[in-house]
Amino acid sequence: QVSAALKEGRVAPTELCQRCLSLIKSTKFLNAYITVAEETALKQAEESEKRYRRGQPLGVLDGIPIAVKDNFNTAGIETTCASNMLKGYISPYNATVVQKLLDQGAVLLGKTNLDEFAMGSGSTDGVFGPVRNPWSYSRQYKEKYVPKSHSEDKDSNWVITGGSSGGSAAAVSSFTCFAALGSDTGGSTRNPAAHCGVVGLKPTYGLISRHGLIPLVNSMDVPGILTRCVDDAAIVLGLLAGHDPKDSTTIQDNFKPFELSNLTDVSKLSIGIPKEYHAPGLSSEILALWSKAADLFKNAGAKVIEVSLPHTRYSIVCYHVLCTAEVASNMARFDGLEYGHRSDMNKSTESMYAATRREGFNDVVRGRILSGNYFMLNQNYENYFIKAQKVRRLIANDFVKVFGSGVDILLTPTTLSDAVPYAEFIKEDNRTRSAQDDILTQAANMAGLPAINVPTALSERGLPVGLQFIGRSFQEKQLLTVAKWFEKQVKFPTIQLEEVKRHDHGVFQHQKSASF
C-alpha cells in the first residue's frame, strides 16, 4: 500500500523517512533500536525521491524504511551484536541481504536490538538492555491489565518481545519501519513475531545468503523476514532469495520471485497437526486457538490430519549440543586483534585473548563457549557431538516421512504462551528459558525447513498469539499462499498505540478488526 502511495506521489520518501525517524524517537522507551542511522537514511530517502520524480523507482521497495538486526554487517554503520565485544565496530561491508535491500532503494533506518550474539529467547540479554514489547503500551493490553497490588509501579508491567530478533519485531510492530531483517537459528524470528503480532518468516536453509550475518550456528542460521502482512514477506523474500557466490551454502537453483495468489479453494490441501507439538507448558488458550485454526481449515474443505514427529522432544537437547559446539567455534574469531574490543592486557597473546574475551562476552555467551568446548573434547566428541548429529538426522527424517505421506503443510503453535512480563521472565536463566521457549520452533531449523508465524488472535491479556506453518524445503510459495489465506480468515487486530495515533496518517493504517 505504501509503495503505491510513493509511486502515486501521495507521500514522498523523505516525508515517510522523517515520520518513521520521529516515531522511533517517540517510541525510544521500547529500546528497539541500538543505532539509528538518521543522516544516511535521509540521504537514501532523498535519492529515492529523485528517482520517483523521474518516474524511475528501482522497484517496490524503493523509499521504503526498513530496519536490520544488529548482527548483520552494514557498511559504515556500527554493528554490535549487542555485545561489548563489538562495541564501536564499524562494518567495512554490507551483508548480502543488506546490499540487496539497499540496491532496491530501501531506506535503512537503523540497527535493531537483540540478545547478545543472538543467544536468547527474550531480547533481554544484550548490553544495551532489554527490548520492550510495543503491545505493553497498547490500549488492548492496558484495558485487560489487572495490577497485582496498589503500590505496583506503573512502569513495571511491560512484557518482553521474545527473541532474539526482538528489536526487529518491535520496530515492525510499532510502525517505525515497514519490514525488518532478523535471524533465525532456533526460532529467533518466529518467536518475537508471535509475541509482537507480526509476520515472521524463516526461509529454507540455503535459500537466502548468510554472507555478512555474524554466524551463530553455520548449519542452521538463516536471515529472517519480519513484516506486518504475509504479502510483504513474500515481496521481501523475492528480493533476497537466490544464490550468492559469497555464500557457498546457498543453493544454485534458479529462484523465481512470486506474487501470492488469493487462494479460494483449500480442498486440495492436506494440513498436518503434529501431536508432539502439544508440548508440556502449552497454554490452554493457545491450544484452543490451534484447535480452532485446524477446524477453520477443515470447515473450508481441507484435509486435516494428526501426524507424528516422534523425535520432537529431543530437538532442544540436540540443538543445545550442536549450537554450543558451533558457537564455540564461531566465537573463536573474537580475540581483539583485528576488530572489536581489545583488552589492555599485553603480557602474551594468549593472556590478551583470554582477557579480551573475559571483558567482551556476557555470561550466556561464555557459558555456551565453554559447554561447546566440553562436548568437543576428544573424550566427548563421539558421545555428544556425533550423537547429536545422528539425532539431528532422525529429527529431519521425521519431517521427510510426514511430508512424504502427502501432508502439504504443518500447523503448530509458535510459542507456549503469550508474552510474559519482563519481571517474570528474568526469574529463570537464559538457557532454561531458551530451552522452554524454543521447543516449538527449533525443529524446523534442525531440518532446514521454511516456517512462518502468522499473528492469529489476542490472548485474554490483550497480547498477540501467533500460529506457525511449516512447509517443505524450498516450497515457500505454497507455504506463504496458505499463510496468506489463513491471515485473511483471522483478521488479526491492529495495535492501538498512543504514539502511533499521533503520527498517524492513512499510510500507516491497515484495515483489520478482531474476529477470530
Catalytic positions are 69, 164, 188
C-alpha cell at 402: 510426514
Q: Tell me: does residue 393 bind another protein (CB under 8 A).
A: yes
When the beta carbons of 156 and 351 are compared against another protein, the nearer one is 351
When the beta carbons of 292 and 393 are compared against another protein, the nearer one is 393
Stretch that binds another protein, among 25-33, 144-152, 273-281, 376-384 (CB under 8 A): 376-384
Residue listed under C-alpha cell 543453493: 251
Q: Tell me: does residue 381 bind another protein (CB under 8 A).
A: no
When the beta carbons of 77 and 170 are compared against another protein, the nearer one is 77
- Give 90's DSSP letter: B
C-alpha cell at 44: 537514501
Q: Tell me: does residue 208 bind another protein (CB under 8 A).
A: no
- Give 409's DSSP letter: E
When the beta carbons of 140 and 362 are compared against another protein, the nearer one is 362
Residue count, binding to another protein (CB under 8 A): 69
Rounded to the nearest 10 degrees, the angle between the axes of helix 315-330 and helix 430-437 is 130
Using an 8 Å Cβ cutoff, are 300 and 264 in contact?
A: no
Q: Least distance in Å: CB of 64 to another protein?
A: 29
Residues between 272 and 311 that touch another protein (CB under 8 A): 311
Residue 397's identity, in one-letter code, is N
Strand partners, 78: 90
Phi, psi (rounded to 5 degrees) for 507: -60, -35
Listed residue (462, 515, 511) closest to 137, CA to CA = 462
CA angle 314, 319, 323 (to 5 degrees): 165
**Residue choice 190, 392, 433, 484 for contact with another protein (CB under 8 A):** 392
Q: Tell me: does residue 333 bind another protein (CB under 8 A).
A: no
Residues between 128 and 147 that touch another protein (CB under 8 A): none
Identify the burial level of 22 via C-beta atoms within 10 angstroms of its C-beta, where 0-12 means exposed, 13-18 middle and 19 or more buried.
middle
Q: Tell me: does residue 249 bind another protein (CB under 8 A).
A: yes
Q: Least distance in Å: CB of 325 to another protein?
A: 10
When the beta carbons of 147 and 245 are compared against another protein, the nearer one is 245
When the beta carbons of 103 and 363 are compared against another protein, the nearer one is 363
Q: What is the pairing mode between strands 270-274 and 303-307?
A: parallel
Residues between 80 and 99 that touch another protein (CB under 8 A): 89-90, 92
Q: Least distance in Å: CB of 218 to another protein?
A: 9
Q: Tell me: does residue 258 bind another protein (CB under 8 A).
A: no
Q: Least distance in Å: CB of 474 to another protein?
A: 11
When the beta carbons of 391 and 465 are compared against another protein, the nearer one is 391
**Residue choice 279, 354, 423, 426 for contact with another protein (CB under 8 A):** 354
When the beta carbons of 195 and 311 are compared against another protein, the nearer one is 311
When the beta carbons of 288 and 337 are compared against another protein, the nearer one is 337
* Cα separation, 59 vs 257, whole angstroms: 13
Q: Tell me: does residue 476 bind another protein (CB under 8 A).
A: no
Stretch that binds another protein, among 22-30, 57-65, 353-361, 404-412 (CB under 8 A): 353-361
Query: Which residues, in sequence order, are CB contacts of 363 under 8 Å at separation 6+?
Result: 430
**Residue choice 290, 361, 486, 508 for contact with another protein (CB under 8 A):** 361
Residue 515's identity, in one-letter code, is S
Using an 8 Å Cβ cutoff, are 45 and 13 in contact?
A: yes
DSSP of 131-173: PBPGGGGBHHHHHH---SSTT--GGGG-BB--SSSHHHHHHHH
Phi, psi (rounded to 5 degrees) for 505: -140, 170
Stretch that binds another protein, among 19-27, 49-57, 126-134, 243-251 (CB under 8 A): 243-251
**Residue choice 176, 371, 417, 494 for contact with another protein (CB under 8 A):** 371
Give the torsion sign (CA, 292, 298, 301, 306).
positive
C-alpha cell at 1: 500500500
Strand partners, 159: 421
Residues between 313 and 332 that touch another protein (CB under 8 A): 314, 317-318, 320-321, 324, 328
* Cα separation, 167 vs 254, whole angstroms: 32
- Give 495's DSSP letter: P
C-alpha cell at 396: 529431519
Q: Residues, the chain, total?
A: 516
- Give 274's DSSP letter: E
* Cα separation, 226 vs 183, whole angstroms: 10
Q: Tell me: does residue 155 bind another protein (CB under 8 A).
A: no
Residue 98's identity, in one-letter code, is V
Residues between 46 and 85 that touch another protein (CB under 8 A): none
C-alpha cell at 371: 559447554
* Cα separation, 106 vs 290, whole angstroms: 36
**Residue choice 267, 348, 511, 513 for contact with another protein (CB under 8 A):** 348
- Window 429-458: contact mask with another protein (x via CB under 8 A): x-x---x-----------xx----------
When the beta carbons of 188 and 356 are compared against another protein, the nearer one is 356
**Residue choice 10, 25, 152, 245 for contact with another protein (CB under 8 A):** 245
Q: Which residues bind another protein (CB under 8 A)?
A: 89-90, 92, 205-206, 219, 243, 245, 248-252, 311, 314, 317-318, 320-321, 324, 328, 335-340, 342, 345-354, 357-358, 361, 363, 366-367, 369-371, 373-375, 377, 383-384, 386-394, 396, 429, 431, 435, 447-448, 473
